[in-house]
Structure 1
Amino acid sequence: MRHFFCLLIPLASLLMSPAGQAQLLQRDLGGFDLKLGTSPSRSMAQGLVKPSAAGSFHGGLDLAHDSGFYVGQWSPSLGISPGNNLEIDSYAGFKQPFDQTLGYEVGMIHYSYPEVDTLDSQEVFGGLTLLGSRFGVALSNDPDKRNSTLFADLSGNQPFGIGVSMKYTTHRFNAPVAVDGGYVGSFTDWSLKLSRPFMGIDLNLIYSDSSLSGSDCSAYVGHNSQCDGLVTLKAERAFY
């Protein structure tokens, strides 16, 4: 499976985009549906890929069968920009709707970093789609810790056209990490994202925080860009 994913990398490289809004190329290949774009195509994978790793140039592809099985590859950073290393997120899973309003999805993601000397990590996930909104859980095994994540994307109900998504993760170190005055064995972090398109611009307001503070923040290695509470306003626009 991993060798098959590696063959997809040259195609994903064609999807490099210096902007935030997704560009999508879709083709029907018999019983298969092929998508190439600058945003993860798969619903649960889109909520679980590590957002902190996103670089200026990114892209990926998704190949799905009519039966519900799919494979794909997403690179949040192609390693072209200074300070960004190549990351390849390969995933596979199965998605099936019960009807027009209810469905489920299960799968796994393999995170690899070919340019740096670090071990790969894996993540298994599952969730439900209800009236256009997504609710999921994921369990991952990083080289130094284990993580459990709850994820919700309330796309099915957008008051005033505002999208809402939330993520809450518990991180448990394999061995306690020494900090000033003691040790940290586990911590939690969370984020809340509000998004709305405006005149071709994708506006995002993000609040993130964690259970660590003060000197304990030296042990922080979570999903957010920093340990303490942070409010971020992002405005992105595609130029092609």
Structure 2
Amino acid sequence: MFKPPLILLGTLLSCSLAHAQVFQRELGEFDLKLGTTPSRSMAQGLVKPATVGSFHGGLDLSHDSGFYVGQWSPSMGLSSGNNLEVDSYMGFKQPFDQTLGYEVGMIHYSYPKVDTLDSQELFGGLTFLGSRFGAAFSNDPDKQNSTLFADLGGNKPFGIGVSMKYTSHQLNAPISVDGGYIGSFTDWSVQLSRPLMGIDLDLIYSDSNLSGSDCSAYSGHNSQCDGLVTLRAERSFY
């Protein structure tokens, strides 16, 4: 794809936190957004999750035709244990009508301060009555990942949003575990979300088909191999 302009991204992140707001401006037929939350709905649900540090943000430039490009950094690597990550993306999004639309695109993941190979992801999906259904395929240095994603935002009983993700991981080289080798595995997650008094509450259940000593081979989307229930509360001050 294209090399990430780190200077511009760094300026954006500093500016976003200092002014505590999202900047949006129309430039002719283009719409420019600078902010501290991902702008792309489909990509936001399909990208690989990463630890979000205190400093994060991105930019997004879209055209009236539906074409867009942008960058998102889930972590600036300023806190201990977090590395600088820059996700550069491009795609095309277009509605068929007021109830149905589609989106296709690709993402390039880079880690400028870590000695590791970059990775790429292709994604696409449909939007129907406010809900999103998508799929993605990514080629990591050590494995290939195929993901199915659903965000039932079009129907929120009691104001609760529901999103689900299921991923199959195929390792490039089998990993030795007690009693044999692991060449592939799957993981999944279900998330319930609801805003409450300005706070975004998320209840997340995640799990995989690995357990016990086989978890030594796990390197999937979830933070833990075995079943895990997480309650997360986040408040945005800008």
TM score, norm. by length of structure 1? 0.94
Structure-to-structure mapping, 1:202-213, within 5 angstroms? 202-213=200-211
What CA distance in whole angstroms lies between the structure 2 residues aligned with 1:207 and 1:24? 31
Shift of the alpha carbon at 1:220? 0.4
Aligned length: 237
Matching residue of 1:14? 14
Shift of the alpha carbon at 1:37? 1.4
Matching residue of 2:192? 194
The residue matched to 1:56 in structure 2 has which SS? coil
The residue matched to 2:3 in structure 1 has which SS? helix
The residue matched to 1:52 in structure 2 has which SS? coil
Q: Is the 8 A contact 2:87 2:109 kept in 1?
A: yes
Give me the CA root mean square deviation.
1.7
Matching residue of 2:39? 41
Q: Is the 8 A contact 1:12 1:73 kept in 2?
A: no
Shift of the alpha carbon at 1:24? 2.6
Q: Which letter maps to 2:10?
A: P
Matching residue of 2:77? 79
Matching residue of 1:2? 2
* Structure with more relative contact order (C-alpha pairs < 8 Å, separation 6 or more): 1
Q: Which letter maps to 2:100?
A: L
Shift of the alpha carbon at 1:72? 0.6
Q: Is the 8 A contact 1:168 1:188 kept in 2?
A: yes
The residue matched to 2:154 in structure 1 has which SS? coil
- Specify which of 111, 114, 122 is matched with residue 112 of structure 2: 114
- Specify which of 130, 140, 143 is matched with residue 142 of structure 1: 140
What CA distance in whole angstroms lies between the structure 2 residues aligned with 1:138 and 1:121? 13
Q: Which runs of 5+ in 1 are unaligned?
A: none
Q: Is the 8 A contact 1:15 1:59 kept in 2?
A: no
Greater shift after overlay, 9-18 or 122-131? Answer: 9-18
Question: How many percent of aligned residue pairs carry the same amino acid?
Answer: 78
Describe the shift of the 1:106–1:220 C-alpha distance in structure 2 as closer, same or farther (beyond 3 A). Answer: same
- Specify which of 221, 228, 231 is matched with residue 226 of structure 2: 228
Q: Is the 8 A contact 1:12 1:74 kept in 2?
A: no
Matching residue of 1:216? 214
Matching residue of 1:61? 59
Matching residue of 2:68? 70
Q: Deviations over 1:62-101 (max 9, x none)?
A: 1000011000100000111111100001000000001111
What CA distance in whole angstroms lies between the structure 2 residues aligned with 1:16 and 1:208? 32
Shift of the alpha carbon at 1:16? 5.6
Matching residue of 2:96? 98
